[in-house]
Amino acid sequence: MRIDIVTIFPEFFDVLDLSLLGKARQSGLIDLGVHNLRDSTIDRHHSVDDTPYGGGAGMVMKAEPWGAALDAILGSDAPAAAPAAQAEGGPILIFPSPAGDQFTQAMARELSLEQHLVFGCGRYEGIDQRVVDHYSQRGRVRLVSLGDYVLNGGEVAVMAMIEAIGRLIPGVVGNPASLVEESHEDGLLEYPSYTKPASWRGLEVPPVLLSGNHGAISTWRRQQQIERTERVRPDLLPRTI
Ligand code: 6GU
């Protein structure tokens, strides 16, 4: 998968050298390009933001640098050139935004099947709306939110999305079985896990896990998943009425 990120803080993404995703990059499963938005400015001061039309607090990111940066990644075809060809199969342009669709495991799985993702990290009060409108005429664009809280910019959100998406790409996680029994994959939260020693600070590992009875262990784990989900995230359970 090819991933491009446009940001005014490229250093944020240095950590993608580490861990599983770092290995996935080394082995060529993920091909990452991080682009500094300021490199696409044309004025002397490399300004990326300006005051909002209509007034109000804060600054808005200017359309021109975004247009130049995204054209350099996506190509600068006129909107009419190939709209049908770009709608299916072309890159998906994702803008992290608290005003977007909620990012979920299902969305991560969907996006893990794509060949090319482009993330545009906004800062300040957001990006000039015409950037989203323009690229929506040329291809697939999504606004995606991590949850109902406000971050200072899209960088941390994009990091979370790339980690959630990247680990679902075949070959990135060494043992694919470990992806199966995770929270959210079957609609329930994960069961609790234990390792040695069997007794620690007066707390015992549930005896069933030491029993060697695989049927009983499966049943217990399923029960734990359901109890935990009822207690912590009842909104995830199917409605019974
Ligand atoms: Cl995706 N971006 C920003 N700036 N804030 C957020 C968010 C995204 N998701 C939740 N809060």
Question: Does 171 reside within a domain?
Answer: no
CATH assignment at residue 151: 3.40.1280.10
Question: Does 212 reside within a domain?
Answer: yes
Q: What's the angle, vertex CA 121, arms to CA 119 and CA 123, rounded to 5?
A: 170
- 122 CA: nearest ligand 1 atom: 4
Question: Does 239 reside within a domain?
Answer: no
The DSSP letter of residue 37 is G
- The answer to whether 186 is a known ligand-binding residue is no
User: How many CB atoms are located within 10 Å of the residue 241 CB?
Assistant: 2
Domain shared by 192 and 161, yes or no? no
| Site to substitute for ligand 1 among 151, 152, 158, 163, most atoms within 8 A of C-beta | 151
Assign residue 182 a region (left: φ > 0; alpha: ψ between -120 and 50; beta: otherwise). Answer: beta
Domain shared by 130 and 84, yes or no? yes
Which segments of 111-151 are extended strands (E)? 116-120, 140-145
Question: Does 241 reside within a domain?
Answer: no
Domain shared by 12 and 59, yes or no? yes
- The lowest-confidence range among 25-29, 63-67, 143-147, 178-182 is 178-182
Q: Are 75 and 125 in contact (CB under 8 A)?
A: no
- The answer to whether 151 is a known ligand-binding residue is yes
| Site to substitute for ligand 1 among 8, 102, 145, most atoms within 8 A of C-beta | 145
Domain extent at residue 5: 1-165
Domain shared by 222 and 149, yes or no? no
CB burial readout 200-239, b (16+ within 10 A) else e: eeeeebeeebeeeeeeebeebbeebbeebbeeeeeeeeee
Q: Are 30 and 42 in contact (CB under 8 A)?
A: no
Domain shared by 143 and 84, yes or no? yes
Question: How confident is the model over 164-177, as pLDDT tens digits?
Answer: 999 999 999 988 88
For the chain, what is the domain count? 2
State the distance from the centre of ligand 1 to the C-alpha of 153, rounded, in angstroms: 7
- The answer to whether 146 is a known ligand-binding residue is yes
Question: Does 175 reside within a domain?
Answer: no
Question: Does 170 reside within a domain?
Answer: no
| pLDDT at res. 125 | 87
| pLDDT at res. 83 | 53
Domain shared by 44 and 135, yes or no? yes
| pLDDT at res. 184 | 85
> 149: Cβ below 6 Å to ligand 1?
yes
- The answer to whether 54 is a known ligand-binding residue is no
Domain shared by 100 and 214, yes or no? no
Which segments of 146-211 are extended strands (E)? 199-200, 203-204
